[in-house]
Amino acid sequence: MIFLDNAGTTKMFRECVETYSHFACEEFYNPSAVSRQSAFVHAKLEDTRKFLLKKLGAVEGTIIFTGGATESNNLAIKGAARNGNFEYIFSNGEHPSVFNVAKNLGLEGKNVKFCKLGKNGKIDLADLESKLNKNVKLISCMLVSNETGAINEIKAISSLRDRLASNALLHVDAVQGFMKIPFSVEALKIDMLTFSAHKFHGPKGVGGLYVRKLNYIKNIVDGGGQEYGLRSGTENVPGIMAMRTAVEKIDVKKNFEHVLELKQQLNKILSGVQGIKVLDFNGSPYIEVLVFDGVKGETMLHALEEKGVIVGLGSACSAKKAGNRILQEIGIDKDEIISSCRISFNAYMTSEEIEKAGKTIIEVYNDIKKRVS
């Protein structure tokens, strides 16, 4: 199988399985217990926190380990909202784990506003500017869109925050950016940041929330008080240590260059093929959208799988629902949305695989086109 749905999830590195196994079966001790063995595990957890903070380019703050990005996003937003009644700003491009939390805050009576996206898939900065004021408590937006690959201008967003809404925290869902594109929380002036291990070849169900200061949020789950009292429950040590192994193995810059070449290679193969259009938002090289004139994306997806190529239909979390909120928001034609598939690469694919995938996409499309016309 040639897997081109890596924004949905990635294959775990073998090395992560080995690390997982070690911390599940050998050093399996509870990091909060008092034995010497537990203390060793605790020290490794703390060292991993420091290691990840460095990778994020943080000079202060800490990481709260969570059960993945959905939980990190909930903790950041609901945790900040538990601190008082203010205004909250999100974008219309957010993943459901932010967007639905935001909608529900609104239903609970909080003052929630949503910013538009421009045609380039990025947050419309003029619209954001018009919504900022000193009562804004939180701005939450993604770094890289999981639907289009568009990269938001986080530096410009934090500058607007500094100028117009200096009381606001900036939370960034960096699930599709961390370990894929180079950035630093310090340079971008990010206060909280979400990441998830299974998007970069680590295990599923583990991730983290970076927080510059612990008092930005309150806990949303009560319990034994682990993770600074902000995420009770015994830490998933095997998962966290396996996530670290994935981070250690990845060379972000080298992978970026390689994936960019793969994407350019695929686009070259598809260029000039009648009926196939690439929607490339010039953002992350890891993600793009293909439109197949006259053929449903879902039909293409199933036919491609028969031939050994797996593509995506936008966010797996919303793929089963009709339409695509994000593509609609940026003004893509309804017919084009129905005829679209999401292609997302990983850095360990070869150009031979891309060549095969490209040829298969053309073959399958032409074959279906012939049958339906």
Q: Any contact of residue 175 with ligand PMP (CB under 6 A)?
A: yes
Binds ligand PMP (CB under 6 A): choice among 146, 148, 339, 344: 146
Catalytic residues: 317
**327: closest CA among 281, 362, 263?**
281
CB 313 within 8 A of CB 319: yes
Within 10 angstroms of residue 252's Cβ, the number of other Cβ atoms is: 18
Q: Which two tokens stand for residue 133?
A: 């004021």
Q: Which listed range, 29-37, 62-70, 127-135, 164-172, lies at the site for ligand PMP (CB under 6 A)?
A: 62-70
CB 280 within 8 A of CB 148: no
φ and ψ at residue 196, rounded to 5 degrees: -145, 130
Q: Which is nearer to ligand PMP, 195 or 216 (CB)?
A: 195
What is the pattern of x (binds ligand PMP, CB under 6 A) and - over residues 14-53? ----------------------------------------
φ and ψ at residue 336, rounded to 5 degrees: -65, -35
Q: Which listed range, 31-39, 63-71, 252-260, 262-270, lies at the site for ligand PMP (CB under 6 A)?
A: 63-71
CA distances (Å), origin 324, targets 9, 39, 96, 98: 19, 48, 12, 16
Nearest-approach distance from CB 84 to ligand PMP, in angstroms: 26
Task: Characterize the bridge pairing of strands 2-3 and 62-66.
Answer: unpaired
Nearest-approach distance from CB 293 to ligand PMP, in angstroms: 27
Q: Any contact of residue 121 with ligand PMP (CB under 6 A)?
A: no
Q: Which two tokens stand for residue 331?
A: 């003004």
Q: Which listed range, 15-23, 65-73, 121-129, 363-371, lies at the site for ligand PMP (CB under 6 A)?
A: 65-73
Q: Which is nearer to ligand PMP, 7 or 80 (CB)?
A: 7
Q: How many CA atoms lie within 13 A of 299 on its CB side?
A: 16
Query: With CB under 6 A, what is the number of residues at the site for ligand PMP?
Result: 14
What is the pattern of x (binds ligand PMP, CB under 6 A) and - over residues 81-120? --------------x-x-----------------------
Q: Tell me, what DSSP letter sits at residue 5? A: B
Nearest-approach distance from CB 372 to ligand PMP, in angstroms: 31
